[in-house]
Homo-oligomer: A and B are copies of this chain.
Amino acid sequence: MEPFFTNVGPIPFEGPDSNNPMAFRWYDRDRVVLGKRMEDHLRFAIAYWHTLCTTGVDPFGGQTILRPWLDAGDPMALAEVKLDAAFEFFEKLGVPFFCFHDRDLAPEGASLKESNANLEAMADKALARMEQTGVKLLWGTANLFGSRRFMAGAATNPDPEVFAYAAGQVKAALDTTHRMGGVNYVLWGGREGYETLLNTDMKRELNQLGRFLDLVVEHKHRIGFTGTILIEPKPKEPTKHQYDFDAAAVHAFLHKYGLVDEVKLNIEVNHATLAGHTFEHELAYAAANGILGSVDVNRGDLLLGWDTDQFPNSPQEVALAIYEILRMGGLDTGGFNFDAKIRRQSLDPEDLFHAHIGGMDTCARGLLVAAAMIEDGKLQAAVDERYAGWNGDLGRRVFDGSASLADLSDHVVEGGIEPQPRSGRQEALENLVARYI
């Protein structure tokens, strides 16, 4: 196997003063931060689809990015060329994990049987390379949105045969993920949603989706997969309305279908913002409800209304997100998957390195800032102090059930209570954050 990225060697850490564009300035994998190696905090993963399969196609133009494996040819042979390039890239970049959709790794065949065989064959080859390189699998998933058969949904399709087909595809992807030692399995409802209520029975479709997830969880236990099952929320795109709109929508869904202890969330920056939330809001919401699993780290463009999946480039923004993650004790089986793609004008193979180096350095710098905020403790102290009143008698009585609504009313009316507001200190706290950057 010939190297594809011939002009680039392994990416070293050279520190903030380096002018070498092919070096890390902040990502120093063995540096210990809050008692843990940087690599173990961030658990970076490369997204096979964006990094290897991006063509540059957009709604108004065709392929711009040329790769040998995107040329015409025997699909399985091309898949292996792609696999070689993938592991060359993972290794040169020095990331511990990757993630894949079944159809990135292996081409779809003429039937599900053939597709499954393709997937198995490619998984064998991938396992060999994983062994050679030490790169591990953060998660696998099934592509239930690209094919014409899923145009009206997979689990939520009006045709139960499509539901069954999706079940078959997920079974194979989950089995394969298990075999490859994946530590999570992700479901992303690409077509689970609707375009118009005029042709949609939402109640029925939600029940189908609940049932599907139930079957997946059951299968996971049956095969002894100990990784985490994750759902990735997204509000719109490809369908007008996606059922997994945001963390709260998935949270409601998990409660309704009795799966809140079985399934966690994979939260993506650009999906959060399309739903009208900050990334850190979604993280904090999931953490507050015990369902934060993993993250897809990228950035959107808030002036555009679609998923731009750019690499993160603001340490300041990333720091606030990592701060939420550190506060909840870090991701467990989860990691930072770069669900991000190079721009369609970034034609050169080297651009892939620039993109990932920039993204990893941004996260590393963000981690350092977040860790400094944690260590310093001033931010947390300000929050604690703000709610300190709740540690008193009144706060206790509210929560222990000893005070009814009427009792609280009496407390105020008879006590002539008039609470005095205190400054929220937003600007002062923003300045405090600025100190760590």
Contact = CB atoms under 8 A, between A and B. Distances in A.
A405 B256 contact: no
- Taken together, the copies of this chain in the complex come to 4
Contacts of A361: 431, 434
A276 B236 contact: yes
Interface stretch (A36-44, A159-167, A176-184): A159-167
A218 interface: yes
Contact of A165 (B277, B284, B419): B419
Interface stretch (A52-60, A87-95, A123-131): A52-60
Most B CB contacts (10 A, CB to CB) among A112, A150, A161 go to A161
A64 B424 CA distance: 11
A348 interface: yes
Nearest to A203: B288
B196 A394 contact: no
Interface stretch (A5-13, A27-35, A379-387): A379-387
A64 to B, nearest CB: 5
Q: Which 10 A-B pairs have the closest CB atoms?
A: A305-B305, A345-B424, A255-B255, A302-B302, A252-B252, A167-B408, A203-B288, A168-B409, A248-B249, A219-B405
Contacts of A306: 59, 237, 305-306
A201 interface: yes
A199 B351 CA distance: 14
Interface stretch (A71-79, A132-140, A312-320): A312-320
Given A147-B62, A424-B199, A303 B304 contact: no
Contact of A433 (B148, B198, B285, B406): B198
A70 interface: no
A201 to B, nearest CB: 6
B431 A111 contact: no
B404 A219 contact: yes
